Structure 1
């Protein structure tokens, strides 16, 4: 049975539902039934089977969005705006240590979800009772992390483009400081952190390429002996796929193609050795 990935309204998370024999195209607006209720979303992808067994299918497509469905959106958005204002006032009134991020009503108005961030656990039972009394529907308080907050609020990164988490990523993948180190990036926290304060998502995009290049080159500190003179690997330039060898004040740039493996270790090619010998002759002449 065909499966469709849908991004629900006011959400960047992809829900996988059964296509239900409907013909839909990418970016088509549709009404779906999920485990949480009936909602509207946009088709993100179509597939005949799930690429990962850990992904679960929860729900089905009901129909393509009709003009009547679209005409209901302003009412739902007005309800969400009112719910946000009411909830924010009650949070202030009850002095709860939480920050309201977004409010979403399901398309059939059977549930209103309040997304918030907080440092610890919040006892919001009294708040839920008050909100249920006002809106006469099910209330769900959903605590999210700072990365989810950035995704919901949106914005632009230091690169000038829209945040990766808004458009590119389906699920957040782990990003480590090692990824930044292996890419020879400035490890200042402001340089490698996103709007959410966490490590940039884009650190993982090209990491596997940098890792492959770095593994094919000797690490800084490795020594090559040429004419009984030790040349130490001073630095690695992953983008240029090269490294800098240094002896005293003499430096030589060697490309990855000029290095070979021999008996389980790195060795210089004849071309690289000639390049180093030439640099030694130049230094001798200058002296």
Structure 2
């Protein structure tokens, strides 16, 4: 978040534009493309590519043709063709890089078939657009109340008004098919505008709303991730993660996208390992795999009759035994191929930043009253000991008999008479 709207406030508190990376300055938008061809001139007798990329709310983008040949630059607010009316968006890319983006998105490069850009947005267009944006929060709350009253099993996640206010798009998520014909009638009668319902996936909803993941950072889908690839539970199995849905699921309720980040590295490392269901043939009997360690390159095997006794073997030794078994021979035992793995005596937890013990939360809390009683008891005992020591000292000096304090009589005054 590098734009000025997301900077700190006057008192040092985070100000934030609260638009989840889609603010008007375009400095923190996750879909912003750097125009690395901006400082390069076109060859002679070649006209610039007559198409621009325009971004709308929530990172929605589309390509438009500049049939009026307006002098547009990145950041300009323009009025684009819509059905019906017009929409207001921001130019995010111009020139030859638009052609590259269209090829990347597998869109046919036909400028004449693209919708048109009418004009640069005037102040009147921007004012109408801003009024529509201000109504979205209130309309979203009222629309949810109507959906609950009608008993529809759906969740309205976001609302987007068209630039001229003639149409409102309601984004919703639902697990089953929803009959919202009565809902559209209620919306059109209540909000007095054209209604369009658009269903989005749970991952797209999480990207729109944003949030903090279990790692303590902002969600990848709301900051930089643009494509959503399918995630399977096999990715967790290859990485030897526990198949716990509460730990593997993200904010959207689906499997975390980050399970795919290191999957290729694990798959490459597992190419050296044999399959887990392989069995080693020895004179003592068949041995089967119990556990593997991808980082250290170790495998644990045990005999079928001795399942509790595991033997640690390196991957090279296991492949050597498998090669011998393929020749129809059996090795004497697994003990011959065991190598002593020296584990250094290192501390599992180092208090490098002044932290407490990892088991500090396992200890029961002591009440403050017990501590006060214990402290007062210790102080009373200390006082009694000091009194006893003083009495013993007095007995030692007087031969064991305590002496009474004698009052000194004051001298009588002399009569000078």
Same fold (TM over 0.5): yes
Question: Contact conserved, 1:2 with 1:47, CA < 8 A, in 2?
Answer: no
Q: Does 1:33 align with 2:88?
A: no
Q: Give, in angstroms, the shift of residue 41 of structure 1.
A: 4.7
Q: Give, in angstroms, the shift of residue 203 of structure 1.
A: 1.4
Query: Could you report, residue by residue, the CA deviation over 1:40-76 in whole angstroms, capped at 9, with x for unpaired residues?
Result: 2573895532444644676466778787766555412
Partner of 1:192: 248
Q: Aligned match of 1:87 in 139, 143, 150?
A: 143
User: Secondary structure, in 3 states, of the residue corresponding to 1:178?
Assistant: helix
Instruction: Give unpaired runs (5+ residues) of structure 1.
Output: 266-274, 281-287
Relative distance call for 1:229 and 1:29 in structure 2 (3 A) is farther
Query: Could you report, residue by residue, the CA deviation over 1:54-108 in whole angstroms, capped at 9, with x for unpaired residues?
Result: 4467646677878776655541222212322332332244333332221111222
Q: Aligned match of 1:242 in 289, 292, 297?
A: 297
Partner of 2:313: 252
Relative distance call for 1:221 and 1:39 in structure 2 (3 A) is same
CA distance in 1, matches of 2:87, 2:271: 50
Instruction: Give unpaired runs (5+ residues) of structure 2.
Output: 1-48, 303-308, 327-335, 342-417
Partner of 2:274: 218
More strand by share: 1
Relative distance call for 1:216 and 1:61 in structure 2 (3 A) is farther
- Larger RCO, structures 1/2 (Cα 8 Å, 6+ apart): 1
Q: Does 1:117 align with 2:164?
A: no
**How many residues matched?**
265
User: Secondary structure, in 3 states, of the residue corresponding to 2:229?
Assistant: coil
CA distance in 2, matches of 1:64, 1:85: 33
Q: Does 1:17 align with 2:63?
A: yes
CA distance in 2, matches of 1:189, 1:170: 24
Question: Contact conserved, 2:125 with 2:164, CA < 8 A, in 1?
Answer: no
Partner of 2:238: 182
Larger mean Cα displacement after TM superposition, 191-200 or 60-69: 60-69
Query: Could you report, residue by residue, the CA deviation over 1:130-187 in whole angstroms, capped at 9, with x for unpaired residues?
Result: 3223443321122333223222221111111111221233232211111111111111
CA distance in 1, matches of 2:93, 2:289: 47
Q: Does 1:99 align with 2:158?
A: no
Q: TM-score, normalised by structure 1?
A: 0.71
CA distance in 1, matches of 2:273, 2:77: 51
Relative distance call for 1:40 and 1:53 in structure 2 (3 A) is closer
Larger mean Cα displacement after TM superposition, 200-209 or 54-63: 54-63
Q: Aligned match of 1:154 in 170, 195, 210?
A: 210
CA distance in 2, matches of 1:34, 1:259: 65
CA distance in 1, matches of 2:98, 2:293: 40
Question: Contact conserved, 1:12 with 1:166, CA < 8 A, in 2?
Answer: no
User: Secondary structure, in 3 states, of the residue corresponding to 1:48?
Assistant: helix
Which of 1 and 2 has greater Rg? Answer: 2
CA distance in 2, matches of 1:136, 1:117: 23
Question: Contact conserved, 1:39 with 1:106, CA < 8 A, in 2?
Answer: yes
Q: TM-score, normalised by structure 2?
A: 0.51
CA distance in 2, matches of 1:234, 1:42: 58
Across the aligned residues of Structure 1 and Structure 2, the Cα RMSD in angstroms comes to 4.2
